[in-house]
Structure 1
Amino acid sequence: MASAPLTHPTRSAAITAGLAALLAAALVLFLAGSLPVAGGFLAAGLIAGGAVLAWRILSPWREESAEHRVDWSLARGLACASDAAVAVTDRAGRLVCANDAFEAMFGGWVPPPGLPIDDAGVERLGKAGRAAWRDGQARAVKLHAGPRVLCATVTRAGEESDMLVWRFDADREHDLAETIATLLTDQHGDRLGGAGIMAALVTPEGRVRAANRVLAHRATGRAEGEVEGRDFMRYLITDSRGHVRFEREGLEGNPLRVIEVPFLDADDAPVLITLLDEEEAAPAIGATAAEHVRSLVSLLPLGLALVDRDGRFLQMNDAFKRAAGVKPGAEPLYPGDLVVREDKAAVADAIRRHAGGATHSTDMAVRLGGSPDEPVALTIAGARGLGDAAVLLSLKDNSEESRLKREVEQATKMRAVGQLAGGVAHDFNNILTAIIGHCDLMLMRHSPGDSDYDDIQQIRANSNRAAGLTRQLLAFSRQQTLRPQILQLPDVVSEVSNLLKRLMGELVTLDVHHGRNLGPVRADPGQLEQVVVNLAVNARDAILQRNPRGGGTLTITTRAVPATEVRRLGNEVLPIADYTALEVKDNGTGIAASDLGKIFEPFFTTKETGKGTGLGLSTVYGIVKQSGGYIFANSDGPGKGATFAIYLPVHASAGAAAKTSAPKPAAKPAELWGSGTILLVEDEDMVRAVAERALTRQGYSVLSAENGEAALELLGKSGRPDLLISDVVMPTMDGPTMVRHVREKYPDLPIVFMSGYAEEQLRKSIDLDNVAFLPKPFSVQQLAEVTREAMANR
């Protein structure tokens, strides 16, 4: 090895040593007068100076001058710019510089090769370091640092070649093999299996490292068979003609084509092996690439089609036919035949461009002739080396996606309409409260036989009828008051069976079937009876509309629907659980497909004008939904009848069904007159006026306020009342907020809330005790009863 050139300080030291030896020899010659002695002294001085100079040259330590000192902060900054872990050591093996990635990878500043890796890795890393001092560069692979496998590159560097640079990266070969093994065992391996491709990653020793499920199934005969760690070749046999088959399937099994994919260059790297089924008569060699591609296209679950240079279909697989709505035996000649007239030119132009040499793919939104209302995505790409095929088409089957989109849109629309219906019903309840209240006040001044008495009664009756319509709107919007109980559906049907027979008359046959082992449900029995009656009346009308002379059948069925059956149904709307189902089926006029999505909307009816309000089915929908259930309408088309299926979840505590009985209504107070001070808070002037007059006539002293803030001011002046009656929804400050302020001063003050919304919904949002509820619209009699009861329970 050649010596390094002398630096400037070394040359200066050599000259100084030579001059010192010469002066010392002259001084000895002058003092001793002996030339031999002076010469010997000169020689000794030169020898000593040469030894010092040689030590200085060969020593690994050198004092660096200021202009040659290394800026290690700059070196570390450069190292931190790299994603790899980088470290620098000197000849003594000391760590002089490292980046943050090195600290993160090895948990500290440990100088190589003594890193926290496996013992064999430390030994290989040490050999690489020694080789780098000798040859300038070396490499170490398969360094196991916990779950990671690393490779290291060691390079000699520095102005005087006295440093080693250590670079650590992830082992690319190991990472690629691990990635392929993971892909084979997850859904990607299942996709290969769906395309008829069996694949396994095999070690150099012939052991299976990973395999997709279809290969494991074919090799072992079990759906969850395990082949990892087994000898791959033991699963295969070869017949006399050289055909490979699975050993389990024997010589009668399907021949296999074995394809070896050496994706890594290392001698000890794993190999990817794929197996393809081929027909017995298929030639072992000589098949063209185009034939292989067509065979693969037919197997893939994606919607693919091949088109020639003239724009005609060469092939389309089954998935493409399903997505395009192509019927067997009616395959089109050109892709433009699949789309509507407005899209034909655009599709033909795009295919022409890609057939002429366009390399990029194009995504187009087109409308198919069979379903022009829903655009689909068509991907067009150029194809090369596939024989006659010049263009590859891909079409996604979005029928399921479209169905889910329609269901979400329907649910969103029903929710919005329900909110609108609830708001309208609430406002109507305020108006009807005022009308009914004034009628009651006028009836107190008239007796039967007066000229105005019958007119007032007629107004009151029509108002009550309108109140019934608002209750139906509240039922649809799921804002009505329910009294749920734990009950059995057959009992509900039995309660109304006599009524149903009278409703059906002699022209329609009623057929009732009850299943076994029905679980109890939690619902309001009165509302559930209304559901059955509404569905039965609609079915009767549909039957008589189809055949006015009768002869139809209405079938009511109750049955248990376990979670396993729900899972088989695959309905995304219906959660997987145990249900008790009620089905009402008729053989009437049926429901058109265009009407099924609107059948539960308020005021939508298929009956003749004047023969239906359109609130029957919307009421059924709201009651079922508010009870936690699901309802589905199904019909094969006009003239083929309809089926309404209701699914109510089975109540968890089945034993409670036998212990639960209907609550007994509280006895109404016989005497409605009373005394005391009542604070009445209502933002609607007409409702407040009626309630104030009614309470005053019953003997109470009434203080009234138009909102919550006014009520608090009035309380500050008048003191504690005996009862507070308040509306729930009011501007500026709502009723519950106002009551919380009042309860801070009077914690035991009884409260009566009035509202047109459902009591059940309000109680979920009102966390107050000792609160009574009065639903709107109410009569003077009902207001007096609730007030008397609240005053008596003080």
Structure 2
Amino acid sequence: MPASPFPSFVPEPTRSRRVLRFAVFGVVASGLASAAFILWLFGEQMVAAGFVAAFLALAVVALVVEHLQVRRVRDVSDPDWALFRAIADNEGEAVAITNQQDALVCASGSFGHWFGGLVPPPRLSLPDGGGAALAAAGLSAWRDGEARLIGLAGPNGLFDVRVTRAGRRDDHLIWRFAHARSLDVVGEARAIVQGRYGVGLGEGGAMAAVVDADGRLLACNTLFATRALGGPSMRPEGLEFSQLFATRGEDQVHLAAEPAGPPLRFIRMSLPGDDGAGASLFLMLDEKPPVQVVASSSNNSANPESLLGILPLGLALADRDGRFLFLNAAFRKAAGLGPEEAPVYPSDLVVKDDKAVVADAVRRFAMGQSVPGDVAVRLKRRAEEPVALTIAPARGLGDDAAILLSLKDNSEESRLKRQVAQATKMQAVGQLAGGVAHDFNNILTAIIGYCDLMLMRHAPGDSDYDDIQQIKHNSNRAAGLTRQLLAFSRQQTLRPQVLQLSDVVAEVSNLLKRLLGERMTLVTKHGRNLGAVRADPGQIEQVIVNLAVNARDAMPDGGALTIQTYAVSADEVRRMGHEMMPIGDYTALSVTDTGHGIPASIIGNIFEPFFTTKEVGKGTGLGLSTVYGIVKQSGGFIFAESPEEGGARFVMYLPVHRSAKTGESEGDAAPVRERPTELWGTGNILLVEDEDMVRAVAERALVRQGYRVRTAANGEDALEMLEANADPIDLLISDVMMPSMDGPTLAGHARRLMPDLPILFMSGYAEEQLRKSIDLDRVHFLPKPFSVQQLAEAARDVLAMAPVKGGLAANQN
């Protein structure tokens, strides 16, 4: 046996004990000196003797204290690990002890031989995820006191593990490793058939038998022995299995002992043997129920268990002491129990904090409580969310059954509820954000418009010029925030075109390098055979920039940012199993960083607006919400994940665009018409806006450009002006959302009166969303907020595109 690398410690005199000894010597010396001085000075022998006795008593007390200290130190000294190794070392088991830091304190010699070195069990590298299973077992043992693992693959075959928390302060874990015993499948099958499980099969109407490779009977349950052999005490071993049956007709087999008995249905399961042709387990069921009716007896008390066993609900029975009598398969699945686990009490299924609640509820029902009740508990195997355990009295379900328990596996239902709640929340927040942005855009339109009007009266260098510019600059910043809100609510105006994601990444790479800085490494990878997508390139660039900035903030000490594009086929989407993502071909863009990752507690909230973990003043919380809105409005999907190895990964999936006409390039930009720079114009404009401040600033802006402007505060007043036809209208400029009569309704009435009337809509909502609800041609849009110059340009361009007819001919400049 190799020598232990862990030395045993022998206690030695400590510094405090040495100080105590010197103090004793000092006390004795001081006492003798004092006695001698008193005797010399006064000549009093009795007084001197008293001093000597007192100091001697102090010395004796100090020596006693020293002795007790030595004894206590010996009692609490470290254990002799060499003695432990000699006791624990054997060929059939390996033992190791770790402390709270998962450091190896001691190990038997077998442990080093089995695993090729002295490595703490939680850090062993084992195949098939065995190392992770050991680490999880250690955590369970610290929490519950004990944990077990069965059939782990190791360097020398399969082994079983038992982890126990121990020590005077429960501050150590004892790991016991034992070779997994070989399973005698045939022997286990014989024991099952002949034991209480075979009795249960018989009570459910199933006969069972184990037959060897030569067709001879090895074992059978009580029902088969009673019906086929003549009695439950008959010995089945060695009988020819096929001789116990007879045929009736061409396709019916029945028991030879029951000539008029019902035909049988056979279920055969092969049991593995050493030669590859092992024994078989047969289950035999009556094709029709026996004609004979069995009188009621005490054995029928198990019939409810047969009924409970086939129900899809998770049901279990317990006796008056709270012990389990029966658990059906649905209950075991809902509780997360393995096939070999047999809990004794219902409280064994729940976490430590809920054990007392369950035990108390079971006790109350065992004592006669008649009204069923639900108990919210957390199961050991699924402690992340509570489940409902229903407890009710079990009347008429057997002589011993007193309590009926019900447990439903609602994990799938809970997951769907969370998805619906998340989708509903995001939709509600999006509607709120869109409404706020729309109203805010009206205010910003007035602020920016009045700033432009004031700037027309002030030249650069005036005392107020810089202040007005600052107000306009901050208003434009606020307009940017509203655009982000509209992006989240999927109500912004997009200009989609057919493009390649790899081209967008290449365009924005130089900008990203400047944003990331010198301590960041940017890596781009592009896959092959990427399908084209239809999206707004500017908005996709904003998605990439926002994700890159978030990754930069997550890596304050530097790191690597990887942007990758790749194709995702429909089969891969099907394997991913995202319920919200339709099956189809996608082009994906992933952004991966090496930062600190995203905590699991907040990863479900990161796309919500104004949700941020940054300090005040370092983020608005709109970056990822903008990303989410752009991707969703582009018809795509985005998911975030935080791998265990660290960092965060965002993956955006955009559907591959299929062109309706083969060979036609939809990504080519349309030729741009060169617009005149002159903003001056003439003509009659009807301006309809329910916001007084927006209507006032728009009227002043248009009048300054030479137009004659008539205004209306709502659609009804505007329609009356059009019907009066006192002065022909060359252009209708209207808000979209107005009380009573909205802009599209007004435009419909106006077109019936004046079919060629040009219409310019002002709105804070997205143009794409509005066009879906407006069934009119030659309708133009001006998004809010806008400046005086943008309004004048829009009016000029719409009039320039109007047909030359009647009064409009004189208005073309």
Tell me if TM exceeds 0.5: yes
Secondary structure of 1:607's aligned partner: coil
Q: Percent identity?
A: 65
**Structure 1 residue 252: Cα displacement:** 3.7
Equivalent residue runs for 1:178-257 within 5 Å:
246=268, 252=278, 254-257=280-283
**Alpha-carbon spacing, 1:357–1:473, altered in 2? closer, same or farther (3 Å):** closer
- Assess if the C-alpha contact under 8 Å between 1:339 and 1:366 holds in 2: no
* Range with greater deviation from structure 2 (617-626 or 306-315): 306-315
1:489 alignment partner, one of 468, 487, 501: 501
**Residue 651 of structure 1: aligned partner:** 657
1:641 alignment partner, one of 635, 639, 647: 647
Measured against aligned partners, the alpha-carbon deviations of 1:183-216 in whole angstroms (never above 9, x if no partner) come to: xxxxxxxxx9xx99999xxxxxxxxxxxxxxxxx
Measured against aligned partners, the alpha-carbon deviations of 1:66-95 in whole angstroms (never above 9, x if no partner) come to: xxxxxxxxxxxxxxxxxxxxxxxxxxxxxx
Equivalent residue runs for 1:72-87 within 5 Å:
none
**d(CA) in 2 for partners of 1:652 and 1:362?**
59
Stretches of structure 2 that go unaligned for 5 or more consecutive residues are 1-200, 209-248, 256-263, 293-298, 803-813
Equivalent residue runs for 1:162-177 within 5 Å:
none
1:260 alignment partner, one of 286, 292, 300: 286
2:739 matches 1:731: yes
**Residue 446 of structure 1: aligned partner:** 458
**Alpha-carbon spacing, 1:491–1:232, altered in 2? closer, same or farther (3 Å):** farther
**Structure 1 residue 714: Cα displacement:** 2.2
**d(CA) in 2 for partners of 1:320 and 1:247?**
25
- Assess if the C-alpha contact under 8 Å between 2:351 and 2:383 holds in 1: no
Return the letter of the residue paired with 1:461.
Answer: H
**d(CA) in 2 for partners of 1:198 and 1:372?**
42
Measured against aligned partners, the alpha-carbon deviations of 1:352-374 in whole angstroms (never above 9, x if no partner) come to: 5765799x994625232665864
- Assess if the C-alpha contact under 8 Å between 1:324 and 1:368 holds in 2: no
**d(CA) in 2 for partners of 1:641 and 1:577?**
29
**Residue 751 of structure 1: aligned partner:** 759
**Structure 1 residue 674: Cα displacement:** 0.7
**d(CA) in 2 for partners of 1:657 and 1:538?**
38
**Residue 368 of structure 1: aligned partner:** 378
**Alpha-carbon spacing, 1:387–1:254, altered in 2? closer, same or farther (3 Å):** farther
**d(CA) in 1 for partners of 2:517 and 2:365?**
70
**d(CA) in 2 for partners of 1:714 and 1:652?**
48
**d(CA) in 2 for partners of 1:235 and 1:530?**
77
**Structure 1 residue 421: Cα displacement:** 0.5
**Residue 35 of structure 1: aligned partner:** none
**Structure 1 residue 234: Cα displacement:** 10
TM-score where L is the length of structure 2: 0.60
- Assess if the C-alpha contact under 8 Å between 2:445 and 2:785 holds in 1: yes
**Structure 1 residue 264: Cα displacement:** 8.8
Return the letter of the residue paired with 2:774.
Answer: I
**Structure 1 residue 660: Cα displacement:** 2.3
Q: Bigger radius of gyration, 1 or 2?
A: 1
RMSD: 4.0
**Residue 560 of structure 1: aligned partner:** 567
**d(CA) in 1 for partners of 2:700 and 2:772?**
32
Return the letter of the residue paired with 2:738.
Answer: M
TM-score where L is the length of structure 1: 0.61
**Structure 1 residue 351: Cα displacement:** 3.8
**Alpha-carbon spacing, 1:345–1:531, altered in 2? closer, same or farther (3 Å):** same
**Structure 1 residue 410: Cα displacement:** 0.8
**Alpha-carbon spacing, 1:307–1:744, altered in 2? closer, same or farther (3 Å):** same
**Residue 335 of structure 1: aligned partner:** 346
**d(CA) in 2 for partners of 1:557 and 1:232?**
64
**d(CA) in 1 for partners of 2:269 and 2:407?**
39
**d(CA) in 2 for partners of 1:449 and 1:710?**
44
2:422 matches 1:410: yes
- Assess if the C-alpha contact under 8 Å between 2:265 and 2:284 holds in 1: no
Equivalent residue runs for 1:387-466 within 5 Å:
391-466=403-478
Return the letter of the residue paired with 1:567.
Answer: R
**d(CA) in 2 for partners of 1:232 and 1:362?**
50
Stretches of structure 1 that go unaligned for 5 or more consecutive residues are 1-191, 200-229, 237-241, 267-287
**Residue 174 of structure 2: aligned partner:** none
2:637 alignment partner, one of 625, 630, 637: 630
**Structure 1 residue 749: Cα displacement:** 0.6
- Assess if the C-alpha contact under 8 Å between 1:678 and 1:702 holds in 2: yes
**d(CA) in 2 for partners of 1:506 and 1:198?**
77
**Alpha-carbon spacing, 1:233–1:669, altered in 2? closer, same or farther (3 Å):** farther
Measured against aligned partners, the alpha-carbon deviations of 1:563-619 in whole angstroms (never above 9, x if no partner) come to: 222222222222222222222122212122221221111111111221111000000
**Residue 54 of structure 1: aligned partner:** none
**Residue 474 of structure 1: aligned partner:** 486
**Structure 1 residue 743: Cα displacement:** 1.2
**Residue 159 of structure 2: aligned partner:** none
Return the letter of the residue paired with 2:681.
Answer: G
**Residue 523 of structure 1: aligned partner:** 535
Number of positions where the alignment pairs a residue of Structure 1 with one of Structure 2: 539
**Alpha-carbon spacing, 1:648–1:234, altered in 2? closer, same or farther (3 Å):** farther
**Alpha-carbon spacing, 1:642–1:353, altered in 2? closer, same or farther (3 Å):** same
- Assess if the C-alpha contact under 8 Å between 2:207 and 2:285 holds in 1: no
Return the letter of the residue paired with 1:640.
Answer: G
Secondary structure of 1:556's aligned partner: strand
- Assess if the C-alpha contact under 8 Å between 1:574 and 1:630 holds in 2: yes
Measured against aligned partners, the alpha-carbon deviations of 1:212-235 in whole angstroms (never above 9, x if no partner) come to: xxxxxxxxxxxxxxxxxx975699
**Residue 549 of structure 2: aligned partner:** 537
* Range with greater deviation from structure 2 (323-332 or 531-540): 323-332
**d(CA) in 2 for partners of 1:792 and 1:606?**
51
2:604 matches 1:597: yes
